[in-house]
Amino acid sequence: MTEPDGITAATYPIAVVMERIRLASPWQPYRWEAKGVVRDIFPAGTSERVMLQDEQLWQILYPGLELKLMLDEAEGYYLNLTSPEPKVFVLWRFADEIARPQFATVSYHEGARWMDSSENVDGVPMPVELLPWVGEFVEQHYRPGPEKKKRYASNKDQGRMGRIE
Digit-coded pLDDT (tens) for 82-110: 999 999 999 999 999 999 999 999 999 99
DSSP category for residue 73:
G
Give pLDDT tens digits for 15-66: 999 999 999 998 999 999 999 999 999 988 899 999 999 989 999 999 999 9
Q: Are strands 87-95 and 98-105 parallel, antiparallel or unpaired?
A: antiparallel
Residue 136's φ and ψ, nearest 5 degrees, are -65, -40
Residue 101 β-bridge partners = 92
Question: What average pLDDT does the segment 58-75 reach?
Answer: 96
Distance CA(50)–CA(18), nearest Å, equals: 10
The set of residues, in sequence order, having a beta carbon less than 8 Å from that of 20 and lying 6+ positions away, is: 30, 31, 32, 57, 58, 59, 99
Does position 153 have pLDDT exceeding 70, yes or no? no
pLDDT score, position 146: 77
What b/e readout covers 64-75, taking b as 16+ CB neighbours within 10 angstroms?
Answer: bbebbbbeebbb
Does pLDDT of 163 surpass 80? no
pLDDT band for position 164 (50/70/90)? low
Strand runs labelled E in 96-150 = 98-105, 120-125
What is the rounded distance in angstroms from the CA atom of residue 95 to the CA atom of residue 92? 10
What is the amino acid identity at position 36? Answer: G
Query: How many other C-beta atoms lie within 10 A of the C-beta of residue 126?
Result: 20
In the chain, domain spans: 9-142
pLDDT for 4 beyond 80: no
Of residues 11, 13, 31, the one with CA closest to residue 22: 31
H or E segment and range at residue 90: strand 87-95
Distance CA 119, CA 101 (A): 11
Range from 109-113, 151-155, 159-163 carrying the lowest mean pLDDT: 159-163
Average model confidence (pLDDT) for the chain?
89
